[in-house]
Amino acid sequence: MAEYFARGKGERRALATLAILRKLRARAVKGTARMEAVMTRWMIVMSLAACSLVGCKDEVHCERQRLDLDKTWAQLREAATHRKLEGVDVPTWTDIETKAELLESSFLTQQVTWDSADKAGQAIAAKLPAMQADNNAQLIGFRTSAESALKQQSSFEKECR
């Protein structure tokens, strides 16, 4: 301290100014580091939030499509059961009913069984052209619904698999 007062007034001011500048610089560096840490945390949180929102939207969309497919295959299975009970081409309708039931169960839970769904869908698709649909509105409706369900299944697989 004695050295400080031993110096001239101009030197003391210069030393005091330097000390103040060092303190300010240290605070600025400390503040900058603190600000950078806050900004980094903010960017991480915002990035995670954006990713989770996008993922959630896709997940909700896929879940909705899966439930729609399950419902569609259940309705087609019921229609096949009714056609089978009418006694018209019983072996074909029994096979279609079994495959539609397999497709329905494939989309029943969130864990979709893709391989069995593909095989059952191909089996139904192979039977559709052979159906005689001359004047039977129910059969025409069934074919149209089944073809639509197969397209919906294909679209679902592309988007959500």
C-alpha R_g of the chain: 36
Total domain count, the chain: 1
Domain of residue 77 covers: 58-160
Residue 122 has pLDDT above 70, yes or no: yes
Q: Does residue 145 lie in a domain region?
A: yes
Q: Does residue 52 lie in a domain region?
A: no
Distance CA 94, CA 80 (A): 7
**CA atoms within 13 Å, Cβ hemisphere of 83:** 25
Distance CA 21, CA 138 (A): 90
Q: Does residue 27 lie in a domain region?
A: no
pLDDT at 79: 92
User: Tell me: the pLDDT tens digits for 41-80?
Assistant: 666 666 655 545 544 457 888 999 999 999 999 999 999 9
Mean pLDDT, the chain, whole residue set = 81
Q: Does residue 4 lie in a domain region?
A: no
Q: Which residue has the higher pLDDT, 132 or 81?
A: 81
With residue 24 as reference, give the H or E element that holds it: helix 9-85
**Residue 86's domain is classified under what CATH number?**
1.20.120
Under 8 Å between Cβ of 73 and 103: yes
pLDDT at 49: 57
pLDDT at 55: 47
Q: What angle do CA 36, 39, 40 make, to 5 degrees?
A: 85
Q: Which residue has the higher pLDDT, 152 or 5?
A: 152
Q: What is the largest CA-CA distance in the chain?
A: 119
Give the highest mean pLDDT range of 9-18, 34-43, 70-79.
Answer: 70-79
Residue 1 has pLDDT above 60, yes or no: no
Q: Which residue has the higher pLDDT, 136 or 95?
A: 95
| Number of neighbouring beta carbons within 10 Å of residue 140 | 13
Nearest Cα to Cα of residue 157 among 62, 58, 56: 62
Q: Does residue 70 lie in a domain region?
A: yes
Q: Which residue has the higher pLDDT, 4 or 26?
A: 26
**CA atoms within 13 Å, Cβ hemisphere of 71:** 6
Q: Does residue 36 lie in a domain region?
A: no
